[in-house]
A and B are shown apart, each in its own frame.
Chain A
Amino acid sequence: MHFKSGFGGAVALAVAAFGLSTAAEAQMKVGFVYVGPIGDHGWNYQHHQGLLELKKALGSKVTTTHVEKVPENADATRVITKLASTGHNLIFTTSFGYMNPTNKVAKRFPKVTFEHATGYKRLSPNVSTYSARFYEGRYVAGKIVGKMTKTNTIGYVASFPIPEVIRGINATYLSAKSVNPKIKIKVVWVSTWYDPGKEADAAKALIDQGADVIMQHTDSPAPLQVAEKRGVYAVGQASDMRNFGKKAHLTAIVNNWAPYYVARTKAVMDGNWQQQNTWHGFKEGMVKMAPYNSAIPADVVKLAEDTRKGIIAGTIHPFEGEIRDQAGKVRIPAGKRADDGLMAGMNFYVQGIDGTIPK
């Protein structure tokens, strides 16, 4: 696969060069680095939507450059350096693996501002990090799937056992359990973010074993499509996936980066940009729910909306004690809420989930 990534880098550089040559001079220049194709209909697609919104919002005051399919290795360093050295004032690097390259380049270009998605390292004052509270969306979806399941079994297609994914499983389970005490959650790990065939197979395996709602934390619409074919429900990931299964698609947890991109670009233009670590959710509009399926009864829609509004108002928190782990140990005491540190490093299943997290 080495050949492929090398080639990807070459393409990326070529695209970068092309993008740069078309950019106008003497105005705000914003660069975006994507890990995959814009056409993935998931993660990268949503970041690119953010770019398009940014252009719409600021019009001629801003020019943008985006580079797709940049591998998370030395190629990333080259692409980011290229952007930084060609007059870009602000660069968004939108994948976890760009953390070290971003910080490395940021040190060399102190006048350029860098924003890195989903990372935690801010080694120089011109680097900020940002991510979204996807688990809030999972908590709202959990209420719906808990009510919609007839077999009391949620099937969950999971990618890798990292805190981000485990947090989503826990949020879904706790939420569904709160409206349906008999709920069970079956998790299948596919060890990939993106393999439509394998994701589909995992969904089939879950449905064959009694799951009648499918949640996914992988990027292709394949699990949703399987759900549509088998006549069960599913919840989309990262973007509104309705078109891939109109009957099955209950809702989707949508990543909405546009407001953040606009705000941060404006901040740089106005000269009041400051380093920060952003973790936004429903309240700030970084996480949204896709339109609810008309098959969901009105009272369930209301429950979901009340939950969403409760999270915004701060009256509801997905991880509110008492929460125990599988061994019965209290992780979040009664009356307390999980702080960001605990959530960011969550590496345990809550009590009631069967199975173990792969090592």
Chain B
Amino acid sequence: MSIDWLVPAILTIVTAATPLVFAAVGETVVEKAGVLNLGVEGMMIMGAIAAFATAVSTGSEVLAILAGAAAGLLLSLIFGVLCVYLQSNQVATGLALTIFGLGLSALIGHSYVGATFDGLAKLDIPGVSDIPTIGPLIFGHDVLVYLSVISVALVAWFLNSTRAGLLVRAVGENHDAAHSIGYSVMLVRMGAILFGGAMAGIGGAYLSVAYTPLWVENMTAGRGWIALALVVFASWKPWRAFFGAYLFGGITIIQLYAQGMGVEVSAQFLSMLPYLATILVLVVISRDSAKARLNAPACLGKNFHVSG
């Protein structure tokens, strides 16, 4: 048995993980600011249709990605207005957002079923991309893959090393305190929600312009929920979310390769693993109240009233 398949397998894992990275890292920022947006799936699917429609009609990859981000952002704007300013329940609003996104994308996408588009080009640096093994592994991806890594680094740096990041975390940990020293909790949360929306939109765009360049209804197929689970699995740390995405993506892909090689694995068991792992992490971090305080933002899911 040769290992010729190993490099392509890793490339496939990268494409499987990238949409999860975008969505999970975006949601990490949202949750760090104390907001639980369960609408990731809906924002992703809107990103997917917006990007695909733009790609088909304009042929521009850059515009497609921007459209994906914009669609996710617009949907999250609805969520933000409802939850931050109108104090609606975050869980219910998030779920509604997902259902709304799935329905609206199907409506918009009706005429795009069956349309085709070449897909996002892979980076091709003459000479460098042709180096065996290392070439394709490091220089053979599409631009969004690199952007996903950069965004993780930026978000990690932003949250941990900047004053603005500290403010986001402060709002998520104790919104009353942040408010009492004069910061606008609502504005910070709104910003975080919009960022999360745009990132989920890009994650969705990745699905429809790079991963499987086509539009079919419900094509996110639950990836938004995996991204939500990842945030908890990663205990709200961007780099952990990044590696978690590769782990989750990796398990799915390796299982497919294993089947092709005749190794017996239970596909059902493996597809539930991400969620099982998330539950385990939740159990571990909730068992110890000191640890829990270090991880979950204390105000996660709680609405903020100025009067309150």
Contacts and interface: CB of A to CB of B under 8 A. Distances in A.
Q: Do A and B bind each other?
A: yes
Contact of A204 (B12, B103, B261, B264): B12
Nearest to A196: B212
A180 to B, nearest CB: 19
Contact of A205 (B98, B216, B257): B257
A201 B110 CA distance: 25
Contact of A197 (B8, B106, B113, B211): B211
B259 A192 contact: no
In this complex, the member of B119, B221, B271 whose beta carbon has the largest number of chain A beta carbons within 10 angstroms is: B221
In this complex, the member of A3, A205, A220, A244 whose beta carbon has the largest number of chain B beta carbons within 10 angstroms is: A205
Contact of A201 (B12, B106, B216): B12
Nearest to B219: A196
13 contacts: A39-B109, A40-B217, A187-B259, A189-B267, A190-B256, A190-B267, A191-B267, A201-B12, A204-B12, A205-B257, A208-B8, A211-B260, A244-B116
Contacts, number: 114
Interface of A: 3-4, 7, 11, 36-37, 39-41, 155, 186-192, 194-198, 200-202, 204-206, 208-209, 211, 220-222, 225-226, 229, 243-244, 354-356, 358
A3 B103 CA distance: 13
Contact of B217 (A37, A202, A356, A358): A37
A4 B268 contact: no
B214 A221 contact: yes
Nearest to B268: A191
A196 B221 CA distance: 8
B66 to A, nearest CB: 22
Interface of B: 4-5, 8-9, 12, 16, 95, 98-99, 102-103, 106, 109-110, 113-114, 116, 119, 207, 211-214, 216-219, 221-223, 252-253, 256-257, 259-262, 264, 266-268, 271
Contacts of B207: 197
A149 to B, nearest CB: 15
B214 A225 contact: yes
B258 to A, nearest CB: 9
B221 A201 contact: no
B114 A197 contact: no
B212 A39 contact: no
Contact of A208 (B113, B221, B223, B257): B257
The 3 closest A-B pairs by CB, nearest first: A39-B113, A205-B256, A208-B5
Contacts of B259: 187-189, 205, 355
Contacts of A4: 98-99, 102
A3 B95 contact: yes
Contacts of A202: 256
Contacts of B102: 4
B267 A208 contact: no
A254 to B, nearest CB: 15
A194 B12 CA distance: 19
B90 to A, nearest CB: 15
B267 A209 contact: no
A274 to B, nearest CB: 37
Contacts of A40: 113, 216-217
A40 B267 CA distance: 24
A196 B216 contact: yes
Given A39-B216, A196-B221, A204-B12, A355 B262 contact: yes
Contacts of B212: 196-197, 200, 220, 222, 225-226
Contacts of B109: 39
Nearest to B92: A3
Contacts of B9: 205, 208
